[in-house]
Copies of this chain bind each other. A is one copy, B any other.
Amino acid sequence: MNEPDFIAALRALPLHPGARGLMDDCAVLSLGSETLVITHDMMVEGTHFRAQADMADVAWKLVATNLSDLAAKGAEPVGVLLGHMLGQEDARFLRGLREALEAFGAPLLGGDTVAGDGPRSFGLTAIGRATHTPVPSRSGAVPGDAVFLTGPVGRAMLGFEGAAEHRAAFDRPVPRLAEGQALAPLVSAMMDVSDGLLLDAWRLAGASRVTLRLDPTAIPVADRERADEAIRWGDDYELLFTAPASAQLPVAAHRIGSVIPLTEAPLILGSEALSDPASLGYRHG
Contact = CB atoms under 8 A, between A and B. Distances in A.
A254 interface: no
Q: How large is the interface on A (under 10, 10 to 19, 20 to 34, 35 or more residues)?
A: 35 or more
Given A109-B19, A110-B38, A285-B86, A78 B46 contact: no
Contacts of A239: none
Interface string A2-15: 11001101100111
B116 A285 contact: yes
B123 A40 contact: yes
B115 A118 contact: no
B285 A114 contact: yes
Nearest to A22: B110
Interface in A78-115: 78-79, 81-86, 90-91, 94, 97-98, 101-102, 107-115
A26 to B, nearest CB: 7
Given A101-B13, A115-B47, A2 B40 contact: no
Contact of A118 (B36, B82, B119): B119
B38 A98 contact: no
- Identical copies of this chain, number: 2
A16 B116 contact: no
B1 A91 contact: yes
Contact of A32 (B34, B101, B102, B110): B34
A123 B43 CA distance: 11
Nearest to A18: B109
A46 to B, nearest CB: 6
Given A1-B86, A27-B81, A79-B27, A13 B108 contact: yes
A44 interface: yes
A225 interface: no
Contact of A107 (B6, B16, B112): B16
Given A29-B109, A81-B125, 20 more contacts: A1-B90, A13-B98, A15-B108, A15-B109, A16-B79, A19-B79, A19-B108, A22-B110, A26-B110, A27-B109, A27-B110, A39-B110, A40-B110, A40-B112, A41-B112, A42-B83, A44-B114, A48-B114, A85-B285, A116-B121
